[in-house]
Structure formats: C-alpha cells, structure tokens
Amino acid sequence: MNARDHTDPATAPVVISSRADAVAEPEPTSVRPEPVEGLTNTSAAASTSSARTEVRAAGVSRHHESARAQVAGGATYIDDIPEVRGTLHAAPVCSPVAHGKLRGMDAKAALAMPGVRGVFSAVHIPGDPMLAAFAHDEPVFATDTVQFLGQVVALVVADDVMTARRAARLVTLDIEPLPAVINVHEAHAQKSYVLPPVHVKRGDAAAALKRAPHTLQGQFEVGGQEHFYLEGQVAYVLPLEQNQWWVYTSTQHPGEVQHWVSHALGLANHAVTVECRRMGGGFGGKETQAGHLAVWAAIAANQLKCPVKLRLDRDDDFMITGKRHPFAYHYRAGFDDSGLLCGLELEMLANCGFSADLSGPVADRAIFHADNAYFLEDVAIASYRCKTNTQSHTAFRGFGGPQGVIVIERILSDIARRLGLDPLDVRLRNLYSDEPTTGALRQAQGGRGKSVRAEPVEALAQRNVTHYQMPVEDNILEPLMTALAQTSHYRERRDQIAAWNAKSPIIKKGMALTPVKFGISFTATLFNQAGALVHVYTDGSVQVNHGGTEMGQGLNTKVAAIVADELGVPFEQVMSTAADTSKVPNASATAASSGTDLNGRAAQFAARHVRDNLAAFVSGLDGCGAGAVRFEAGQVITPKTTRAFNDVAHAAYANRIQLWSDGFYRTPKIHYDKTTMQGRPFYYFAYGAAVTEVAIDTLTGESRVLKVDILHDVGRSINPAIDIGQIEGGFVQGMGWLTTEQLVWNDKGYLQTHAPSTYKIPATGDIPEHFKIDLWPEPNREDNVHGSKAVGEPPFMLAISVFEALRDAVAQAGGQPEGMNAPGTAEEVLRAVG
C-alpha cells in the first residue's frame, strides 16, 4: 500500500471498497446486471499482450487549467459577469480623520446628483450592526466613532460607478477629532491592545542569559505590506425570490462571506449563496476583508430591492483594507563561542490596527515561527497585539510566520559577525537535531562544564522539540542546506565577494543563506477539514467541486489531476467548477497553504467512492473481486476484459449505479491548547533554503539582487511547473516586502503610499538574471495527498536571505547592519552605511 492510498483510520471515509482491501470483499450477492448494448470489451489476452504505459495526471508539469482562457481574455472575474438589468453601483463614504466622534452626516448634495439612488449607513442594517467576526469588535459602518482614516461610514448607490464615486465625495461628515494612536510603541506604552498579551516560555531564559559567555541585545522594526492583488476588492449581490440572495465575490472564504451577509441581513445562512469562480490574486487580503464589501453591497441591495455591485478603485482599496502586520521587536540573546544560542528573551509588538480581525492567530504564528529552523532551549517570548488608529491589519502570505522568522535570522547573523564566524556555520550549529540539550548535558555532568559532550541517553531531552512542545520528526534541514551550499558554491563565492569588496570602494556585495521551516495546518484546529463533490456523467466526463477557491495558485489544476488519477482518466476529462456554498457548505478559507492538502484529499476520497461503485459493478459483470479491477489510462481493466471508462460510466448509469459522491477529510494528528500555546498545531513542516547575492551602492543606497539559488521541499510534487511558479512568486513577493514596499502613515494617520506612484512592488527588472530553483527529491513523510507538501507560503520566507544579504553588504562597507530596519529601501541602506 503506498502513501496516497493509505488513510488514517480515525479520519478515513466509509467506502464501498478500497483498492487495497477490495480483495478481501465478498463476491456480490445480487444478480449480475445485464450488459448494456454498445459496451466495448477487449479480451484480457489482448490487453496483456500489448505494452501498456500508465499515464498519470499528478506528478506532471502541465498548464494551469485556466491559463489559455486568461491569456485570451476569456476567464471571467467578478467585474466581467454580465450585469442583470437594473444593476446599480456603489461607492464608499470614508472617514477623513483617524480618530473622532461622528456627530452627523450631510448627504444632501450627493442625493441631489442625477442618477443617485440612495445613501445608506448603519441605520439601514436590518441585522447586527457589528460584523460577524470572531472578536465582534468591528462595526459594519462607523456609528458613534471613527477609528481610522478610511473607515467606511456610508455607501452611495447610483446608476453607474463613476456617478456613485463622485457623489460619495460630496457627502460631508461632522467629526470631532480625538487623539489618534499611530505608532505601535505609543500603543504599547498606553496598553492599547485589541487582544490580551500572550507569553510563551521554556526553561529559564534569564538564568541562561546570565550563564552565557556572550550576549547581544537590540531592537528592530519590519514594515507591513499591501496585498496589491491585480483584481481589487469587489462584490456583486443579487436579490432572489423569497428573501434569498446570490453573492458573487472575490473571496478566499465564501463560507465566511455567507455568514457575514446573512448575519447583517438578519437571515439564516441557507438564504445566502456565495459563489467565486476565481480571484485575480488574494494573498490573504481576501480571507476576511472581502466580506466587508459583500455586506455593504447586500445592505444597499436589501434597501433598494435590486442588484448592487461594489468595486473599490485602487486608492480606496489601499485606504480601506488592512495590510500585513508591521512588527517591532526588542531582544536579548546569549550564545557561546561557537555561536550556539544559550538563551533568548524576545518581545514582539504587532501593529494590529483598530480591530482584531485575524491578529490573534497571526501573532500566535509569529510566536510559533520565532524559532524558524533552530532549537531554542531557554526562551521567553512576549507578544503584544497593539491597537492603533490605522486600517485593521489582516492575513497575508505567511500569516505572521515571516515576522517570526526574520527576527531569529537577524539575531544569528549578528552573532556570527560578533564572533567573526561564517553565518552559515552559526545557522548549522543551531539547527534542530537529535543531539542532547545543554541542560541535559549539565544534568549528566552534575552541573560541571559546558563544553564536554555526553552520550545521549533516553531520559535526556534532545534538540528536536519546539518551544511549543511539538516534536520535529521530519527534519531535513541539515542535508538540504548543505546540499544547497555545495550546488550554489556558497563557500567559494564568499571568498570571491571578499576579494571584490577589497577592490571596490563604492559597490559592495553581500551574500546570505537562510532556511525556512514552516508549519502546515490552520492553528485553529477546527478549520482543518474539507469537503468535495465528484460527478461522473454518462459520457464519462467528470466534474469536481470543492470548498477551496482558485486565486491563481493552481488549486483547481491540482485537484483535477488528483481526481483524474483516482478514476484513471486523462486530466482533460476532469473539470473543476466554481466554489459555491450551496454545493460544499461550511468550507474553511483557502489559506494556511492547506488548499490542496485539504480539498485535494477530500476530492480524492469522493472520486474513490465513485471508483469503488464502478469497481463493484464491473466485478459483478466479470465474476472477479472488486480489488482486481484497475482504472488506468481511460480504461477499466479486469482479469477477463478491458472496457473504456466512458462506456463503463454509461453502462453503470443504465444499471442504476451511483455516479456521484461526496468526500470529506480532516487533518489527522493535530491538537493544540490555545491557553498554554502547546501541542501539535501543524501536521508537518515544509522546508527550504535560499542563497542570495546582492550589491549595494554606498553613495546612493540603491541595491540590486544579483543571484538567487533555491532548494525547496514540496514533497512529491503534484505539478512541478505550478510549484516552481509558486516558489518564484513567493520569493519575489517576499523580496518586495523587504526592499521596496514601504507603507508610510503620517502623524495624522493618513496612508501616504496609497497608489502605485508611491508604493513600489517588484517589477520585471528586479528579477535577478540568475534565478535557479531546484526541488528536494523526497516525498512527504506524513500521509498527505500524493506525498506532496504545501507550497503557497513557505517560499515567501526564503526572501529573508535578500535582507540578510543586504545587511552583509552593509557590514562589508563598514556600516551598521545592527541598526537596519526593514524594508531595506535605498534610504535605509544609505542610513545604515553611514
């Protein structure tokens, strides 16, 4: 039995028979169905006499299922859907101040404009005036108080979008300004938090720091990041009969949009159907915050009894929606002469904006990934979820992981510079391993001496358990990093860079190799479940629907390949359809890099049910066990004969065999106590490493990424082309976060970088000419679908090698890399060079 056929007994769905155990099934006792006219049989002898090569859909590089339609302009996004007659358009009325008392609103000038149909605010909400977010701390529309500059107070609805936008700017708000908290340090000083602080400890960090031969301390800030999806936030809400609603929305979480809209309208969930065929990018920005637009549009549609579309322009999208959480850190680390960490005290200040949104789990994941790839024996982490008068920050690729990883990588680089060691050696020295802990060694030695090694014994703790008590059982980082160092010629290139810098007074080069260990699963255990439907039609074509959403990452392409292999049909015979809450209910968000893990496995189980129905049918025809029936290359093969899959589907229908089924999957093994922050929140870890070489101009601070080499762990790839594309895209997006993408709020809370003219994402000219990606050749050691691993988020953190390479170049120039914040803009590099 191979990995893809094995399922956890606790989570395996009930099936008629599985491929592995079908040989033990009794022969069918019912009367054999009569063959259907036209069913083609091929003799077993003929079948075995001809060479047959099984064609697999998974494990092969193939185009994204919508690629041709997208290139030809034939792929439909929300704003492309033909509008129903009578559709109106909406635009938001936003607060012009960051904090104040809302005393009134004057909409007379807007309502006087030709084509304006109405202005709607909190008084028009038939249900709960608060959004159905878990913290219940965010109003649908601002009521008595505005809490950030850009907060939506009302909605103007007109015959066309431009009229609505012009009218929205004519609405005047009477606001009494109040003091605004913009800076995360000010919020922390005032104990202004959206959620209570969280503390995680292991061992005695203070005592370890006192024992440490060396210590360093510092502070550091990393900025947020705008999602900058190509398709902006948009929703199109249509009233149906009997107070039912159909919502088209660009969202990563149709189920949550359904819940939010029904909650605001005072309806049961079943009255609202949400559909999303695809998004033009999401990156986490459409996990919760797409729900706002759907709710706003639904409230207007409910008042006017007609369809309403709301599409934000880019400036409003910037000003209204949340970003990646900016973080500030204070730390103190102890280490020995080899660079081994002895103790760490770390304080994290997360800028959450004005409401909680997803800040709790984002900040939790930052804690979980503060170790990255390294064992922290004595550690104390304090996490503060700070409330500021800015946009409510939200999910973004990595979901707090990057903000945890970057600080430990910074610390290890600084330790290496302090000791005059190669940073790679310091990183390798601190990796998780099966070696005993220093505490275990002290215990074995009766507290005497720290440099003498003791043989590990079973009773002693080893360096393979995280600070949240999850064993690291699938660790491949040491061989992976060593292999990358060899194939990228890391050691030789460091010598070459040193020689270059000795001769170049202005252009200085730097290089860094950094790893990633990223946990895969939702940390909220209840979200680790998925459902799917698979339909086989009488012509043998297959349709699959699941709870995941397609945002360009190739989820539907991978799921179709999984279903094709389960049924033994060509990839082209399977079609994935739009996410739809009326088909798969209560689906989790497509997030946490788990879209394929969850939905792919659920779809596989659904296809397996149908396959087993067909196997039982065919085995009855041919007098064999169901386990002897094989589905390969579009054919159904028994010891007696071979039939075309299409013919078998038609015959099965004629004999009243069920040709559709559902599938359900829940991730096994995971458990997590949120009160203690301990357990196994992740099913497995995805690993990778990157080597980046950069050059900086010490006169201007400008920088360029010269070379990138990546070795990344995707398990047994379902689609190598798509996985490599995700690695490329994740790395470049992370590079933007740490180099050019700077969010700047002024002291009034106004986001000054709110358009492409001032907010700079990487362009094609920023991609290094040498950009080499290799995949680690080993399947997932856990029982995941196809032996694969998640790939959406982990590569983002490989770009931390860019920032560390910039800091290395600053050090080579005689600057102060210890004081450098992210992003490493030209101004920041120049300041650090001094």
Which residues form the catalytic set? 793
Amino acid found at 655: N
Check: CB of residue 250 under 8 Å from CB of residue 312: no
Q: Are strands 574-576 and 579-580 parallel, antiparallel or unpaired?
A: unpaired
d(CA 650, CA 31): 19
Joined together, the tokens standing for residue 540 give 């043998």
Distances (CA, A) of 682 to 377, 399, 432, 524, 672: 20, 14, 16, 10, 9
d(CA 419, CA 412): 11
- Which has the closest alpha carbon to 690: 430, 823, 516? 516
- Which has the closest alpha carbon to 323: 223, 412, 463? 223
Joined together, the tokens standing for residue 779 give 């399947």
Reported as type and span, the H/E element at residue 575 is strand 574-576
Q: Are strands 703-712 and 770-775 parallel, antiparallel or unpaired?
A: parallel
- Which has the closest alpha carbon to 349: 391, 389, 380, 387? 387
Sign of the torsion formed by the C-alpha atoms of 237, 238, 239 and 244: negative
Joined together, the tokens standing for residue 422 give 């190669």
Joined together, the tokens standing for residue 146 give 């505005």
DSSP 88-125: EEEEEEE-SSSSEEEEEEE-HHHHTSTTEEEEE-GGG-
Beta-bridge mates of residue 517: 687
Sheet holding 88-94, edge to edge: 116-120, 152-158, 88-94, 308-311, 234-239, 245-249, 272-276, 579-580
Sheet holding 703-712, edge to edge: 507-520, 684-697, 703-712, 770-775
Check: CB of residue 234 under 8 Å from CB of residue 312: yes
Number of DSSP helices (H) and strands (E) in the chain, helices first: 22, 30
